[in-house]
């Protein structure tokens, strides 16, 4: 089974931290949908029989900027050109400001009627000061109203929240988590504010106008999040992800387990697992007009493609597998698929990490402790290469 990802690049404005491909220039969404259909037909011809879909995910950008008709066009393209008989999860990312009023209610009803089973809401904070700093398009009142409307119409709702906003009081972070739980979120994704290259935030930091929070503050927020959400019935199943039982993101789990994911849309990435130890990864051009032009002219929109061998796949499997806190890193699978005996080859590193309280090492499985999860990337890098 596979996942299908569709990138919707439209945004109303640029968030201070964002380094994903997007455009704030509104184009004809009809051309976008026609190009999506053309790419779905192209890839469906190759993968329909080999990769029946288990999940469909519309990300961005801001998919909730699509009209109900355009949303239907994108979802219909998946059904028309891929095997969706086993489709179990359809997720659409949305921003709270798009879900208010009569238009928002109509959009939510259309999403429900189109078979959308899950919404992922880019709330980021329920406080106006935080939202203004991040240059989000919604305010705190819209954030709350958007979650309420989504829960009422769709039910299964994930809320994204960002911690580590400079000068954010600790009480505000706790209140953000409390409100997400109280409003009925079934899933919460929490992310530390990260300074990425080629973003407005990077410029502000380089100019000295913004000072990022220190590691200890971020660690404190992270450990509090683990304890608070765990105490309210959420399982901490991945480094940044918390879910009520039965509400994990199945689509995201396909990334963490090296599952096949087919991508449509400008900048969309795809991964095809050819054998246990070899795969292919490719990406579309990161330009809406060029991507549309190539597809509507009958040409491939792929910007680059690479084959991935067993060594690189093994490293990725370690990096991704450790992120799965409940399941951990399956050492038998690593050895079976890639020929890597981690217990032998990384004996000293594992002993040091275990001694530092960052991992738990079992007979055939390695799991991060919560202290290790707080520095997951650094831990993983000790075990690869």
Q: Is residue 132 part of a domain?
A: yes
- Evaluate whether residue 264 is within a structural domain: no
Q: Residue 31: which CATH number?
A: 3.80.30.20
> What is the CATH number for 335?
1.10.10.920
If asked whether residues 213 and 321 sit together in one domain, one would say: no
Pair (88, 200) in one structural domain: yes
How far is the C-alpha of 37 from the C-alpha of 169, rounded, in Å? 47
Are both 205 and 324 inside the same structural domain?
no
Per-residue pLDDT of the chain (385 residues; tens, 9 = 90+): 999 999 999 999 999 999 999 998 766 899 999 999 999 999 999 999 999 999 999 999 999 999 999 999 999 999 999 999 999 999 999 999 999 899 999 999 999 999 999 999 999 999 999 999 999 999 999 999 999 999 999 999 999 999 999 999 999 999 999 999 999 999 999 999 999 999 999 999 999 999 999 999 999 999 999 999 999 999 999 999 999 999 999 999 999 998 999 999 999 999 999 888 899 999 999 999 999 999 999 999 999 999 999 999 999 999 999 999 999 999 999 999 989 999 999 999 999 999 999 999 998 999 999 999 999 999 999 999 7
Last-in-domain residue among 184, 219, 254: 254
Say whether both 197 and 322 belong to one domain: no
Asked whether residue 300 is assigned to any structural domain, the reply reads: no
Q: Where is the domain boundary, 254, 276, 291?
A: 254
Residue 270 inside a domain? The answer is no
**Residue 305: how many other CB atoms lie within 10 Å:** 11
Domain count, the chain: 2
Domain membership flag for residue 44: yes
Same domain, 233 and 323: no
Q: Which among 230, 254, 278 is the end of a domain?
A: 254
pLDDT tens-digit readout, 135-189: 999 999 999 999 999 999 999 999 999 999 999 999 999 999 999 999 999 999 9
Which token pair is 207? Answer: 């100019």
Position 216 in a domain: yes
Same domain, 235 and 328: no
List all residues 6 or more positions away from 214 whose beta carbon is below 8 Å from its beta carbon: none
Do 112 and 23 fall within a single domain?
yes
Q: What CA–CA distances, in Å, run from 50 to 46, 274, 310? A: 8, 11, 22
Domain that holds residue 145: 2-254
Q: Write out the two tokens for 323.
A: 């992120």
Look at residue 277 and tell me if it is in a domain: no
Instruction: Evaluate whether residue 73 is within a structural domain.
Output: yes
- CA distances to 49, 152, 162, 332, 366 from 363, rounded to whole Å, are 38, 45, 36, 10, 8
87 and 230, same domain (yes or no) = yes
Task: Please report, to the nearest 10 degrees, the dihedral formed by the alpha carbons of residues 254, 256, 258, 262 taken in order.
Answer: 50
Cis peptide leading into residue 50 (ω within 30°): no
Cα separation, 328 vs 321, whole angstroms: 6
Q: Within the chain, how many helices (H) and strands (E) appear? A: 16, 15
Same domain, residue pair 9 and 79: yes
């Amino acid at each position: 089974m596979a996942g299908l990802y569709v990138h919707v690049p439209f945004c109303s404005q640029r968030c201070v931290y964002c380094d994903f491909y997007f455009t704030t220039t509104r184009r004809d969404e009809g051309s976008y949908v026609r190009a999506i259909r053309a790419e779905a037909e192209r890839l469906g011809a190759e993968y329909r029989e080999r990769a029946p879909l288990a999940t469909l995910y519309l990300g961005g950008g801001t998919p909730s900027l699509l009209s109900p008709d355009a949303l239907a066009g994108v979802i219909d393209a998946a059904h028309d050109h891929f095997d969706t008989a086993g489709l179990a999860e359809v997720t659409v990312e949305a921003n709270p400001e798009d879900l208010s009023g009569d238009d928002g209610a109509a959009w939510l009803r259309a999403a429900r009627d189109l078979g959308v089973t899950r919404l992922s809401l880019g709330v980021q904070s329920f406080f106006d000061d935080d939202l203004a700093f991040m240059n989000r398009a919604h305010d705190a009142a819209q954030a709350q109203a958007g979650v309420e409307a989504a829960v009422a119409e769709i039910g299964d709702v994930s809320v994204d929240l960002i911690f580590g906003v400079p000068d954010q009081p600790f009480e505000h972070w706790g209140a953000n988590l409390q409100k997400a739980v109280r409003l009925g979120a079934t899933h919460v994704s929490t992310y530390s504010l990260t300074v990425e290259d080629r973003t407005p935030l990077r410029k502000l930091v380089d100019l000295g106008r913004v000072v990022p929070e220190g590691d200890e503050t971020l660690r404190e927020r992270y450990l509090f999040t683990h304890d608070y959400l765990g105490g309210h019935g959420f399982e901490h199943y991945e480094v940044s992800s918390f879910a009520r039982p039965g509400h994990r993101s199945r689509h995201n789990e396909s990334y963490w387990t090296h599952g096949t994911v087919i991508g449509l849309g400008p900048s969309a990435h795809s991964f095809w697992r050819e054998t246990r130890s070899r795969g292919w990864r490719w990406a579309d051009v990161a330009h809406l007009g060029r991507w549309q032009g190539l597809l509507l002219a009958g040409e491939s929109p792929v910007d680059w493609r690479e084959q991935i061998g067993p060594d690189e796949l093994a490293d990725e499997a370690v990096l991704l597998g450790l992120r799965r806190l409940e399941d951990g890193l399956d050492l038998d699978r690593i050895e079976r698929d890639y020929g890597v005996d981690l217990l032998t080859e990384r004996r000293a590193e594992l002993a040091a990490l275990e001694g530092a309280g960052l991992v738990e090492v079992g007979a055939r499985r390695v799991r991060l402790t919560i202290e290790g999860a707080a520095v997951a990337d650094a831990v993983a890098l000790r075990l690869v290469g």
